Structure 1
Amino acid sequence: MRIFVTGASGWIGSAVTAELLAAGHQVVGLARSDAAAATVANLGAEVRRGTLDDLDALRAGAADSDGVVHLGYNHDFSRMADAAQTDLAAITALGETLAGSDRPLLIASGVAGLPGNPVTERDSADPSGHPRMANALAALAFAERGVRTGVIRFAPTVHGDGDYGFVSVLVGVARERGVSAYIGEGGSWPAVHRLDAAALVRLALDKAPAASVLHAVAEQGVPTKEIAEAIGRGLDLPVKSIPAEEAVAHFGWIGPFFGLDSHASSDYTRELLSWTPTHPGLLADLDAGSYFKR
């Protein structure tokens, strides 16, 4: 298949692009900058220049494809509403272009903050929560218009060598503060290795029925205390608990996320797609040391 991928040069998108190419698919990656275009080209994919705001570029990419994987998102926490509106417009443009074709449209979402213990694929997102949840529902609605839609809810940490996401931020905070902290008695974070997540996306393109909700979760809940302890080992720093009311002062913007106590199941996804994560877990990845060599 010829697959159009937004966010193709990103942390997850670059792994997805490589996974699809290795499986024999053609990939066209959306690139907003010269650096992103070079990354996409170096992976062996075709480059389509454009941004998430460029709806004509999105429509053209979707029209010229056998399916779309929409991973691009503006993760600017100071402009969450604007980012969500851009995402919704992009999803709408992609969905309308694919309408009536039965071609796949997969979009990215998340499990963090969803109700349920553990959260399952059958648990509905509250559209009044994070605005991205409403966008996922908008994407699923295109199933009624002849699009093989799927929402992939990623774990809050998608880890691996080269990760610059949440775990990398926590490592940076620990370095700056001279202590590796966790909040209260600690909570839990679901986790998945980026290469396992990429394999799931490939399988979803091939197998997932319309209106599928899938969980890219390899570990249902990694204790945040153990994450802090692994960071402490890696940096040779003390580990301590801090009160919840001090979380933002200590961690900054990531404090509320690290304070979550979230568990998520992927049992349905594994059974539906025959997906079996095979790469190291989060704590093993931390103990391997790559997070501390930067």
Structure 2
Amino acid sequence: MRVFVTGATGWIGSAVTDTLIAHGHKVVGLARSDEAAAVLEAKGAAAHRGTIDDLGSLAAGAAAADGVIHLAAKHDFTDLAASWRGENAAVQRMLDTLEGSDRPFLIASGLASADIQRPLTEDDASPFHGADSMRGGGENLALSYAARGVRPAALRFAPTVHGMRDHGFTAMLTKIAKERGAAGYIGDGSTRWAAVHVADAARMILLALEKAPAGSRLHAVAEDGLPSRDIAAAIGAYLGLPTVSVAPQDAEAHFGWIGRFFGMDITATSARTRQLLDWTPTGPTLFEDIAAGAYALPE
């Protein structure tokens, strides 16, 4: 299958590209620079030049593909509203290109949802609709095309998709701990984050591309919810630093913008996804990766 992948050189996208190629698929990755194109070509993938804002390039990439995996996202925290509108426009253009083709369109999403006071399941719909909502309402926009001749599926990633050289949220928390001289958690540390190893997430995406029914919501989750105090303790143990509680009102001052997320309860199950795709996570746990040096910092 010829697969157009946006975000193909990113953290998750790189693992997805490698996994797709290893299973006989041809990857065409969106590349916004010569450096990105060179990385893709070195892996055996083809480079398709363009950006998320270049709607014509996105349409051309989608039109020439047997399926699309949309992993790229704009994260301009200085103007999130513009980022969300841009995401909505990009998703809309690719979906319109695929309409009536019965080809798969997989879209990266998250587990943030309404305050339901329990782990999120695949039956829980995203509350975000429209270009001005979080992520431009891309998940619901994509799933609406199940009735328009597209095979869409939402890829809901755990807040920490971990592994060696991960530079995401856990890497940020590790860096902050080293700077502060202590690994912090917020309040009593009872809020939880779901987690998944990047290789397991990539394998789930491969299976989704090949067999997920139209309209599927899929959870890339291996560990349903790890208490934030335990995450901090694991980071502290690796760095040889104490673990401390940070008062909620001081969270932003201590952690910066990531404090808003670290204080959230973001938990989810993946029972339906595992059954639907015959997917079983087998990678290391988050705590195993932390102990193994996945978040080692330069001196």
Q: TM > 0.5 between the two?
A: yes
Structure 1 residue 234 and structure 2 residue 234: aligned? no
Distance in 2 (alpha carbons) for counterparts of 1:103 and 1:247: 44
Distance, in Å, in 1 between the alignment partners of 2:192 and 2:136 is: 21
Please report how far the alpha carbon of residue 133 of structure 1 lies from its aligned counterpart in structure 2 after TM superposition: 6.4
Residue type at the aligned position of 2:161: V
Once residues 162 and 229 of structure 1 are traced to their aligned partners in structure 2, the CA distance between those partners, rounded to angstroms, is 20
1:209 paired with 2:229, answer no
CA distance in 2, matches of 1:216, 1:163: 16
Q: Does the CA-based 8 Å contact 1:113-1:260 persist in structure 2?
A: no
Cα 1:10/1:156, change in 2 over 3 Å: same
Cα distance between partner residues in 2 of 1:126 and 1:55:
26
Partner of 1:69: 69
Say whether the 8 Å CA contact 2:160–2:193 is kept in structure 1: yes
- Tell whether the 8 Å contact from 1:218 to 1:277 is kept in structure 2 after alignment: yes
Q: How many angstroms apart in 2 are the aligned matches of 1:73 and 1:262? A: 20
AA aligned opposite 1:240: V
Say yes or no: does 1:79 pair with 2:79: yes
Provide the alpha-carbon RMSD of the alignment. 1.3
The change in CA–CA distance for 1:74 and 1:142 in structure 2 (over 3 A counts) is same
Instruction: Render the CA deviation track for 1:53-79: whole Å, top value 9, x for unaligned.
Output: 111111111111100000010122222
C-alpha distance in 1 between matches for 2:60 and 2:121: 35
d(CA) in 1 for partners of 2:122, 2:223: 15
Write out per-residue CA displacement over residues 129-156 of structure 1, whole angstroms, 9 at most, x where no aligned residue: 9522622111111111100001111001
Where do residues 55-204 of structure 1 align in structure 2 (5 Å cutoff)?
55-116=55-116, 117-127=118-128, 131-132=134-135, 134-186=137-189, 187-204=191-208
Aligned equivalents of 2:182 and 2:209: distance in 1? 43
Structure 2 length-normalised TM: 0.96
TM-score (norm. length: structure 1): 0.97
Tell me how far 1:99 sits from its aligned partner: 0.5
Structure 1 residues not aligned, in runs of 5+: none
Post-superposition Cα deviations, 1:197-234, rounded to whole Å, max 9, x if no partner, equal 00000000011011111111111001111110111111
Q: Secondary structure of the residue that 1:5 maps to in structure 2?
A: strand
Matches within 5 A, 1:20-39: 20-39=20-39
- Decide which of 222, 225, 229 is 2:229's aligned counterpart: 225
Give the letter for the 1:221 counterpart: G
Give the drift of 1:43: 1.7
Question: Any idea what SS the aligned residue of 1:257 has?
Answer: helix
Could you tell me how far apart the structure 2 residues matched to 1:171 and 1:35 are? 28
CA drift of 1:13 comes to: 0.4
Stretches (4+) displaced over 6 A: none
Q: Identity of aligned pairs, percent?
A: 54
CA contact (8 A) 2:192 2:225 kept: yes
- The alpha-carbon distance between structure 1 residues 193 and 98, as it changes in their structure 2 partners (threshold 3 A), is same
Residue aligned with 1:101, SS: coil
Unaligned runs of 5+ in 2: none
Spell out, residue by residue over 1:95-143, the C-alpha distance to the aligned partner (whole angstroms, 9 max, x if none). 0111101000000000034443110011111126952262211111111
1:1-34 deviation digits (Å, cap 9, x = unpaired)? 0000000000000100000000000000001112
Deviation at 1:292, TM superposition (A): 1.7
